[in-house]
Amino acid sequence: MNCLDVILFQAELTPEKLAIIAQGHVISYGKLAHGIISAQRRLAASGIGEGHTVGLNIAHPIDHLILICALYRLRVASASINAALDGYLDHVPFDAVLADSINPAVSEKQPAAKLFLVDTSWFTSKVTFSVAERTGAKRDPNPDWCAA
């Protein structure tokens, strides 16, 4: 199991259990999983998928984590960037950049990249998700690993 599988598994078992506290925000496993799947759907609908390279310029750590997990589920290569400090913008050709605010340096240095402005709607889809979507349909048919 990787970290993302643990998050989704925990969301299945105890969705109300506290998962993360960051910068004054508290999020449960259920909300975290819901945000990951909502963002994954939004990314896929935007045409972002396997084989793409995406840069992230997202300030809030929870939103950043959610997007990294959503991109991972889509098999998208991603890099966290800070346009003011990092050299990613000069050396990595991104197909898309996800940002929480307009950053002129991104547009100038990555003219071929699509810029997507991320807001809270990316993490709050109003639809329900199937168990297979929430878990990635990865159930171990042999539960012996957790036997006492």
CA 113 to chain centre: 18
146 occurs within a structural domain: no
148 occurs within a structural domain: no
Count of domains in the chain? 1
Q: Please write the tens of the pLDDT for every residue from 48-71.
A: 999 999 999 898 889 999 999 999
Distances (CA, A) of 4 to 10, 99, 108, 134, 148: 10, 22, 34, 11, 25
147 occurs within a structural domain: no
77 occurs within a structural domain: yes
Instruction: Name 55's bridge partners.
Output: 79, 97
Q: Say which CATH number the domain at 69 has.
A: 3.40.50.980
| Mean predicted confidence (pLDDT) in 2-31 | 86
Q: Please give the DSSP secondary-structure letter assigned to residue 35.
A: H
Whole domain around residue 32: which residue ranges? 3-141
Looking at residue 89, what is its pLDDT? 78
Cβ atoms 119, 59 nearer than 8 A: no
pTM of the model: 0.79
Q: Please write the tens of the pLDDT for every residue from 66-90.
A: 999 999 999 999 988 875 556 777 7
Q: Where are the beta strands (DSSP E) in 23-144?
A: 25-28, 53-57, 77-80, 96-99, 114-117
